[in-house]
Amino acid sequence: MLDKKTNAVLKALNKLSEGSAYKVITIDDVLNILTQKSQYDNESIKQILNFLETQQYINIKFSEENTYCYSLLPKARIYLEQETGKNKAKKPATPWLNYLFTLLASFIGTMLALFIFFYVTF
């Protein structure tokens, strides 16, 4: 599991990449995509990119001062797919529908109990 900053950078790299081909980017490109830019600077982006490479999420072909040539590895794509699946799975069912089914089931149960009671006693 990646922390929030690393996860945001990985999502930005995914947006910048085009398929499985290598892509040449600058750190400014990554900063332009990130929503909370105040948390990041050039040095933190470099550290995150190096971390992602050591954890085999990305493959860096070459890097110069602020320019990187990278490609996302399958591990990163699987991780991003699982993250989007978690966000979709967290959506709760509508509570009013649960209340409606509970009310309907209790009403039917009560009517069935009354019917059995009056049928047996009379």
Q: Are 27 and 5 in contact (CB under 8 A)?
A: no
pLDDT, one tens digit per residue, over 45-103 is 899 999 999 999 999 998 898 899 999 999 998 998 888 777 665 566 678 888 899 99
Secondary structure of 30-75 in the HEC alphabet? HHHHCCCHHHCCHHHHHHHHHHHHHCCCEEEEEECCCEEEEEECHH
- Euclidean distance between CA atoms 16 and 80, whole angstroms: 14
d(CA 53, CA 58): 5
**Terminal CA-CA length for the chain:** 66
What is Dmax (Cα atoms) for the chain? 92
CB-CB contact of 15 with 8 (8 Å)? no
pTM surpassing 0.75?
no
C-alpha 97/C-alpha 86 separation (Å) is: 23
Residue 95's pLDDT is 82
